[in-house]
Structure formats: C-alpha cells, structure tokens
Amino acid sequence: MTLPLLFLSGAGLPAWIWDEVRSGITAPSAVAPRPATGSGTITDYARAALDAAPEGPFGVVAHSAGGVVATELAHLAAGRVAAVLGVAAVIPASGGSFASSLPFPNKVVLPLILRVAGTRPPESAIRKGLAAGLDEEAVQRLIADMDPEPLKYFTTRTTGYEAMHAVPFKKYVVTTDDAELTASMQRGYAARLGASGVTEIASAHLPMITNSAEVIAAAQDLAESRPAARTAEGGKR
C-alpha cells in the first residue's frame, strides 16, 4: 500500500496546478484548501490542511510558500506526517516565517511592500515569474484563478521546525530556472529541511505543470516510502 499524499500549493495558487501530478501517481491524494475562517495565520492554513488530510500517516508535497505551511503542519500532526517532498519550497528556520526566510534585504522589504501594495502580484510579475514556461492558455487561467493570501500568511512565525526535522523521510526538488526562488536559495532550504535526496530539474517555478513527469516520479517515490510510513504508524495519534 502506498502512502496517501497531501499537496500544499504555494501562495495564491489554485488546486488545479497539481492535476497532472495527482493523475500520474498511484497513491490517493488531496489538495489542502485555504482556511474558511480564522485570522489568516500560517496556523490557520495548517489546520485547514490537517482537516483535509487522510486518516493515519500521510506524506506532504509542498510547493513554494506551502513549505512554511508544511512546517507548521508537521507540528500539528506530529507522528502522522511520514514523509515530506519540498518542490521549490521555502523552509523556515526555527521560529521563522515566509518573509524571514528570504535573503536580506527581501526579508525586511517584503512585509513593507505587501502592506502598501497588497499581496496579489501584478499580471506582469505573474507572467515573468510564477507563469514562466507556461503556454498562454495556462497563463490566462493562472492569472484568473490567483487568490491573494492575507498579509499574516507571509509574516506568521511557525512552531514546527523541530517536528519537521523529526519526519523520517524528506526529499527536495530544486527548480534551476526559477525566477521566484533562485536555485541557490532552494538548495539552502533543502539543507534546512534535512532532505536525504535533492533532485535538480531545469524548470521555472511551476514544475508540476512544465515538468510534470519529474514531479510525478518524485511524488511517487514519496508515496512508496514505506519505512517512513511504518515509523509514523507507530507514532499515530
């Protein structure tokens, strides 16, 4: 039996970005929803994700800012998160937030920009960064379906660093042509995650669409991480 997977999208990104990957794996899966209520903190997002998680142990596939949610989820679901795959994912340091996980001066400037300009990037920025490598139909769909996150999503500090490090099976996919998060930054996040394996692919920020076969392979490998699943089964709550 394969490990069921919970997919966490990056900031503002719709669930359909995972459609091709989910159809290509044998494991049951779900995409974490945004919280229906709450103050918009990372904890609210992690609780909404946990509500969508399958019973028992499960694996998490986290993209971009979804890595911060995954870190908090590891704390809320301690003993059940059996494996984590970061896909160009931001992994915060102990007590860190998405913003604080960025290099200087971005970690200082970003919250100020978001307070003034809002959290939805302009269309030109989406085309240049998030949507790089997509065909025009997918670009238009992405722009239409972007759902801005609240400011607290980017500034809330997590409490799950130690719990994330206790997850027994962790891997990371680095996107080397990424205009949103450089490959160097991602390698640092992979090291912070404690990933036992790192795969580098020539992709922009949405490899689940542009390089789906490689992400499918990584997700399937996560789902088949049976030693990790057994460990989590023993710690199931």
Q: What tens digit of pLDDT does each residue of 189-230 get?
A: 999 999 999 999 999 999 999 999 999 999 999 999 864 444
pLDDT given at position 226? 60
Looking at residues 38-46, what average pLDDT do you find? 93
Query: For the chain, how far is it from start to end, CA to CA, in angstroms?
Result: 20
Looking at residues 47-65, what average pLDDT do you find? 96
pLDDT over 70 at 59, yes or no: yes
Looking at residues 132-160, what average pLDDT do you find? 95
Alpha-carbon distance 4 to 42, whole Å?
A: 23
Top pLDDT among 235 and 182 is at 182
The H-or-E segment that residue 123 falls in is helix 123-128
Output the average pLDDT for the chain: 92
In percent, the amount of the chain with pLDDT more than 90 equals 81
Strand partners, 87: 63, 173
Range of the domain at 213: 5-234
226 Cβ neighbours under 8 A, 6+ residues apart: 3
pLDDT tens-digit series, residues 90-115: 999 999 999 999 987 778 787 787 78
pLDDT given at position 235? 40
Please give the tally of structural domains in the chain: 1
Neighbours of 123 (CB within 10 A): 13
The H-or-E segment that residue 155 falls in is helix 151-155
The H-or-E segment that residue 46 falls in is helix 42-52
Local structure of residue 120 (DSSP, 8 states) = S
Structure tokens that stand for 47 in this block: 């609780």
Alpha-carbon distance 7 to 170, whole Å?
A: 14
**Which CATH number do you get for residue 29?**
3.40.50.1820
pLDDT tens-digit series, residues 2-37: 999 999 999 999 999 999 999 999 999 999 999 998
Looking at residues 162-169, what average pLDDT do you find? 95
Residue 89 · residue 64 · CB < 8 Å: yes
pLDDT given at position 156? 93
Looking at residues 47-58, what average pLDDT do you find? 95
List strand residue ranges (DSSP E) for the chain, in order: 5-8, 29-31, 58-63, 81-87, 169-175, 197-201
Residue 222 · residue 25 · CB < 8 Å: no
Local structure of residue 177 (DSSP, 8 states) = T
Q: Is 70 exposed, middle or buried (0-12, 13-18, 19+ CB in 10 A)?
A: buried
Helix axes 66-76, 42-52, angle to 10 degrees: 70
pLDDT given at position 110? 79
pLDDT given at position 229? 42
| CA-CA-CA-CA torsion sign (178, 32, 166, 196) | negative
